[in-house]
């Protein structure tokens, strides 16, 4: 690797760590460490939600899938755009209000327990366990993506690459908490967008121009340019079904909870959706026109052969740009990895600290104590994620798909019903959550009909919530009053806008 690329990487990494130290000075209590004191504006809310969402799969998994199979893999992106839009439109503002009305809940398990007045703490414990189980898988996907980047870029062994890729993220998350994560996410989202606008343009130019490249790709294999190639109804539903996952992702929902108010969501939605469409379009373009580029330059095909297709963005950046620009573009991959991994580490830490340590072990713990316990939990979860990432053959997209499905099915229906349906009960929420999570785990194992596990998990969880809630006795007056209060606050503000 050339000196300019090393310098660029070093500046970026030290810059992120510096932000962590700066955020440290603004972290006064546990609420600051977990949700930034609920004072995040629309721009940071939008970009941090996008950056925490996309992860390494945006610049590695998605371009690699399109490179292998063609434009038909774009169905994932279509599903994600639809799901993200409705998540912003229907859930973002309402969840911000509902979590504040319900005793200023800091985490999803805390919100569930207070929203349904769960004295048994079963909702809190089960939801926190689901977060820990699926987020360790999700965190592992980030560690794998970072390791592949460092392995390919620096020529390091996988083991050292894994430690190097995760090290900086762990450090600034440990030090600065939510503020550090949100501020760095904003910079990282900007860097990702720059990379996914510039790189596709250069790939198209070097592949012979748009029209010639498309013709060449069609000649190689007509299926590459066919959106319906090898697609049946089940496959299309499975790819579109990724969009359902947005309603239950704790690291994205935490951005909504941390916003200064629900009134910032309108502008945040516009910013976030524009960013998302540009980035997903850029990632698909890199993978698609990468087919033409490597076909025209077979001398470089060894770089992406033998299961290395997820490195296509990395190799194109190194081939098409001078070392200084390439360093910036490769830092964008690290940005995608770091932004998501940091959010996941923080959500796991908050679940362990707020929903286990303070809820059961130290109810009277001081704010300073909770912050340091939260930091210790960041390290613990990071170590587990690294251990899960030891196998270098792990696919980033596969790891992400399992965790995404788990959260989407376990939490998505509960989040939706909790802000729209006053009749929903604690037992309905609890059993719906369990049914959603168990369905996903079983479906992953048996892969019935090749249908993405999120879809049956989401469907069965929703049916369970409705049936159990209707068979159960009505929620008590406290729960009903909190629901009506939150509904009124949100509704009145919406009318005034």
Q: Tokens 């390919």 correspond to what residue?
A: 152
- 2 to each of 155, 202, 326, 370, 403, how far by Cα in Å? 12, 21, 10, 44, 36
Using a 10 angstrom Cβ sphere, with 0-12 exposed, 13-18 middle and 19 or more buried, the burial of residue 18 is middle
pLDDT attached to residue 38: 67
Q: Which residues, 6+ apart, have CB-to-CB distance to 122 below 8 Å?
A: 430
- 371 to each of 17, 136, 351, 375, how far by Cα in Å? 18, 21, 13, 6
Instruction: Please provide residue 40's backbone torsions phi and psi, each rounded to the nearest 5 degrees.
Output: -85, 130
User: Is 200:39 a contact under the CB 8 Å cutoff?
Assistant: no
Q: What share of the chain is helix, strand, coil (3-state, %, to 5)?
A: 85, 0, 15
Q: How far apart are CA 460 and CA 462, in angstroms?
A: 5
Nearest to 418 by CA among 116, 190, 121, 68: 116
User: Is 21:176 a contact under the CB 8 Å cutoff?
Assistant: yes
Identify the DSSP state of 125: H
User: Is 112:127 a contact under the CB 8 Å cutoff?
Assistant: yes
Q: How far apart are CA 242 and CA 405, in angstroms?
A: 8
pLDDT attached to residue 315: 86
CA terminus-to-terminus distance, the chain: 54
Q: CB atoms < 10 A from the CB of 298, how many? A: 8
Q: Tokens 């319906």 correspond to what residue?
A: 228
pLDDT attached to residue 74: 92
pLDDT attached to residue 496: 45
C-alpha triplet 309, 191, 88: angle, nearest 5°: 90
Alpha helices in 209-358 (DSSP H): 210-220, 233-240, 250-258, 265-296, 312-320, 323-352
Taking phi first (over 0 means left), then psi (-120 to 50 degrees means alpha), and beta for anything else, what does residue 412 get? alpha
Q: Decide: helix, strand or coil at residue 141.
A: helix
**214-256 tens-digit pLDDT:** 999 999 999 999 999 888 999 999 999 999 999 999 888 888 8
Q: How far apart are CA 212 and CA 3, in angstroms?
A: 36
Q: Decide: helix, strand or coil at residue 40.
A: strand
**102-141 tens-digit pLDDT:** 988 888 888 999 999 998 889 988 998 888 888 777 777 7
User: Is 210:77 a contact under the CB 8 Å cutoff?
Assistant: no
- 431 to each of 247, 436, 463, how far by Cα in Å? 18, 8, 10
What does the block give as tokens for 325?
Answer: 């620009």
pTM to 2 decimal places: 0.86
- 98 to each of 5, 83, 102, 107, 249, how far by Cα in Å? 46, 21, 6, 12, 17
The DSSP result for 288-309, as a single string, is: HHHHHHHHH-GGGGGGG-TT-G
pLDDT attached to residue 114: 92
Q: How far apart are CA 449 and CA 234, in angstroms?
A: 8
- 374 to each of 135, 152, 257, 367, how far by Cα in Å? 16, 33, 18, 10
- 130 to each of 221, 254, 269, how far by Cα in Å? 43, 16, 28
Positions in the chain short of pLDDT 50: 495-497
pLDDT attached to residue 60: 80
What does the block give as tokens for 377?
Answer: 């939990």
C-alpha triplet 333, 192, 88: angle, nearest 5°: 120
Q: How far apart are CA 38 and CA 417, in angstroms?
A: 24
Q: How far apart are CA 344 and CA 181, in angstroms?
A: 10
Q: Tokens 């009277």 correspond to what residue?
A: 364
What does the block give as tokens for 446?
Answer: 């048996």
pLDDT attached to residue 35: 67
């Amino acid at each position: 690797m050339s000196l300019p690329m090393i310098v660029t990487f070093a500046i970026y990494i030290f810059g992120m760590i510096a932000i962590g130290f700066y955020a440290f000075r603004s972290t006064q209590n546990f609420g600051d460490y977990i949700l930034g004191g609920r004072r995040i504006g629309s721009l940071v809310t939008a970009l941090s939600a996008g950056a925490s969402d996309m992860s390494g799969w945006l610049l590695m998994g998605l371009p690699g899938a399109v490179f292998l199979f063609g434009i038909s893999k774009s169905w994932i992106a279509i599903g994600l755009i639809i799901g993200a839009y409705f998540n912003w439109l229907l859930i973002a503002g309402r969840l911000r209000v509902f979590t504040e009305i319900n005793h200023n809940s800091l985490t999803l398990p805390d919100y569930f327990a207070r929203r349904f007045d769960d004295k048994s703490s079963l909702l809190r414990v089960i939801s926190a366990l689901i977060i820990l189980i699926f987020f360790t898988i999700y965190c592992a996907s980030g560690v794998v993506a970072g390791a592949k980047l460092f392995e390919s870029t620096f020529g390091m062994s996988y083991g050292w690459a894994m430690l190097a890729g995760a090290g900086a993220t762990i450090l600034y998350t440990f030090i600065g908490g939510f503020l550090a994560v949100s501020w760095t996410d904003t910079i990282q989202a900007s860097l990702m967008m720059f990379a996914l606008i510039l790189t596709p343009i250069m790939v198209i130019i070097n592949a012979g121009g748009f029209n010639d490249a498309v013709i060449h790709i069609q000649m190689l294999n007509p299926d590459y340019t066919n959106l319906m190639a090898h697609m049946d109804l089940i496959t299309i539903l499975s790819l579109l079904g990724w969009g359902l996952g947005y309603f239950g992702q704790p690291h994205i929902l935490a951005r909504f909870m941390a916003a200064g108010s629900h009134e910032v969501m309108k502008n945040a939605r516009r910013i976030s959706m524009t960013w998302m469409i540009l980035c997903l379009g850029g990632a698909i373009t890199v993978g698609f026109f990468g087919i033409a580029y490597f076909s025209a330059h077979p001398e470089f095909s060894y770089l992406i052969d033998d299961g290395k297709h997820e490195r296509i963005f990395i190799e194109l950046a190194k081939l098409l740009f001078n070392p200084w620009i390439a360093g910036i573009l490769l830092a964008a991959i690290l940005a995608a990895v770091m932004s998501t991994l940091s959010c996941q580490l923080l959500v796991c830490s908050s679940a362990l600290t707020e929903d286990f340590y303070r809820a059961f072990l130290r109810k009277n713990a001081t704010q300073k104590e909770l912050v340091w316990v939260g930091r210790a939990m960041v390290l613990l979860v990071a170590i587990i994620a690294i251990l899960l990432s030891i196998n270098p053959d792990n696919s980033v997209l596969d790891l992400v798909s399992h965790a995404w499905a788990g959260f989407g099915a376990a939490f998505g229906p509960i989040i939706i019903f909790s802000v729209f349906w006053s009749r929903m009960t604690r037992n309905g929420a609890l059993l719906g959550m369990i049914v959603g999570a168990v369905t996903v785990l079983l479906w992953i194992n048996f892969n019935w009909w090749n249908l993405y596990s999120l879809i049956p998990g989401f469907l069965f969880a929703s049916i369970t919530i409705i049936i159990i809630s209707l068979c159960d006795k009505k929620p008590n007056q406290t729960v009903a009053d909190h629901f009506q209060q939150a509904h009124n606050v949100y509704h009145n503000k919406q009318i005034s806008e």
